[in-house]
Amino acid sequence: MKKIFNQHWVLLVGVIFGTIGGYLYWYFIGCNNGTCPITSSPINSSIAGALLGGLVFTSFPNSKKNENKDKE
């Protein structure tokens, strides 16, 4: 479990921040009349936020991986 966390901690942090951000977006901005498919439900908004958070956080290059490639 610790090995998996050490390998994918950036993704997990991104998903957590994205989930919180998606929920906060639903809470403060969301869609009141229910016609918006993503922001009308806190679950849908949180899932969309988690996906976006994971994508954004993993899109930045990991400096440790780049350093190891340069040494080889």
What pLDDT shows up at residue 54?
95
Res. 30 pLDDT band, cuts 50 70 90: confident
What pLDDT shows up at residue 34?
75
Cβ contacts of 9-12, under 8 Å, gap ≥ 24: 10/57, 10/58, 10/60, 10/62, 11/54, 11/57, 11/58
What pLDDT shows up at residue 61?
77
Helical spans, DSSP H, in 1-72: 2-28, 42-58, 63-71
What pLDDT shows up at residue 67?
56
- Report pTM: 0.77
Rounded Cα distance, 18 and 42, in Å: 13
What pLDDT shows up at residue 28?
93
Tens of pLDDT, residue by residue over 33-63, are 878 888 889 999 999 999 999 999 999 776 6
